[in-house]
């Protein structure tokens, strides 16, 4: 009862801090988390294709490491959200599952990736049980604040934590689904308001 709000055990916090240090020190030298995270005023997802995408390192739902290289060889649709998101996240993931079904056998020719931008609440295993509800294979992942800041910056994903009454917070975030080709290059996005017909045509483009 006491940890209904998902209070994080101190050990986990320590481990996460260590992970951040490891990531920063070993991988990026002294690069600071730029963009993303709290207070980031970066513009919403760019639709101009130029430089969307790039290398990233995250932790998959099963605890394994998920990088851009893991996904290489297959096109993928990637969406950023959080499991406490009551509306746009389940709606978007359910829609991807449904579009995949409509594509028939071709529907399995691309991966669906869900990245939680709220690692404070969503541990990898939680994300795994969340994506399992959609009844189609979805790769769930999250990362340290630094890892998320990196991928958010590369994909031009807007993320901002907004406090709500009762000490909790919600997360404003880009609602677009990014479609990437098998080499990890950005192709286009599926917008939240877009109709299924257009979305299907776009999916066909990445699996073609």
Partner 1 sequence: MKSSIRIMLAATALVAAPPLLAHGVAAGALAIGHPWSRETAPGQKAGGGFLTITNKGKTEDRLLSATSPAAADVQIHMMKVEDGVMRMRQVTGGLAIPAGGTLELKPGGYHIMFMGLKKPFKQGDMIPATLAFARQGKVAVRFKVQPIASTAPMEGGHGGH
Site residues for Cu ion per CB under 5 A: 86
Q: Is 46 helix (H, G, I), strand (E, B) or coil?
A: coil
Q: Is 196 in the site for partner 1 (CB under 8 A)?
A: no
What tokens does 130 get?
């969340």
Q: Where does this chain touch partner 1 (CB under 8 A) — which range of 48-56, 69-77, 91-99, 141-149? A: 91-99
* Residue from the set 40, 57, 70, 83 that interacts with partner 1 by CB under 8 A: 83
C-alpha span between 112 and 100 (Å, rounded): 9
129 binds, among Cu ion, partner 1, none (CB under 5 to 8 A by kind): partner 1
Quick one: what does residue 173 bind among Cu ion, partner 1, none, with the CB cut-off 5 to 8 Å set by partner type? Answer: partner 1
44 binds partner 1 (CB under 8 A): yes
Q: How far apart are CA 102 and CA 76, in angstroms?
A: 17
* Beta-carbon contacts of residue 20 (< 8 Å; ≥ 6 apart): 144, 145, 146
Q: In this chain, which of 58, 76, 110, 123 binds partner 1, going by CB under 8 A? A: 123
- Measured from the CB atom, is 25 or 88 closer to partner 1? 88
Residue choice 99, 151, 176, 206 for contact with partner 1 (CB under 8 A): 176
48 binds, among Cu ion, partner 1, none (CB under 5 to 8 A by kind): none
Q: Which is nearer to partner 1, 122 or 145 (CB)?
A: 122
What are the distances in angstroms from CA 48 to CA 8, 18, 44, 60?
39, 36, 12, 28
Query: How far is it, in rounded angstroms, from Cα 11 to Cα 201?
Result: 47
Given Cu ion, partner 1, none, residue 125, with its beta carbon under 5 to 8 Å by kind, binds: partner 1
70 binds partner 1 (CB under 8 A): no
> Could you tell me which of 130, 114, 53 has the C-alpha nearest to residue 79?
114
Whole-angstrom distance, CA of residue 14 vs CA of residue 9? 9
Angle formed at CA 191 by CA 189 and CA 195, multiple of 5 degrees? 115
Nearest 5°: the CA angle 179, 185, 187 is 40
Nearest-approach distance from CB 90 to partner 1, in angstroms: 5
Give the footprint of partner 1 on this chain (CB under 8 A).
1, 4-6, 44-45, 47, 81, 83-88, 90-91, 94, 97-98, 121-123, 125-126, 129-130, 132-135, 158, 162, 164-166, 168, 170, 172-176, 189, 191-193
């Amino acid at each position: 009862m006491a940890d209904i709000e998902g209070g994080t055990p101190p050990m986990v916090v320590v481990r996460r801090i260590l992970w951040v240090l490891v990531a920063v020190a070993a991988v990026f030298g002294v690069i600071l988390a730029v963009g993303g995270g709290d207070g980031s005023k970066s513009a919403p997802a760019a639709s101009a294709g130029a430089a969307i995408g790039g290398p990233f390192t995250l932790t998959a739902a099963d605890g394994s490491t998920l990088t851009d290289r893991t996904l290489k060889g297959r096109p993928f649709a990637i969406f950023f959200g959080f499991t406490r998101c009551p509306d746009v996240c389940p709606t978007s993931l359910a829609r991807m599952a449904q579009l995949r079904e409509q594509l028939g056998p071709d529907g399995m020719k691309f991966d669906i990736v869900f990245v939680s931008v709220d690692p404070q609440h969503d541990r990898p295993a939680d994300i795994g049980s969340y994506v399992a509800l959609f009844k189609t294979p979805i790769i769930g992942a999250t990362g340290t604040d630094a890892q998320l800041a990196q991928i958010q910056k590369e994909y031009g994903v807007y993320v901002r934590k907004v406090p709500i009454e009762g000490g909790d917070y919600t997360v404003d975030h880009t609602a677009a689904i990014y479609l990437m080709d098998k080499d990890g290059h950005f192709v286009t996005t599926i917008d939240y308001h877009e109709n299924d017909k257009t979305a299907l045509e776009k999916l066909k483009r990445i699996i073609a």
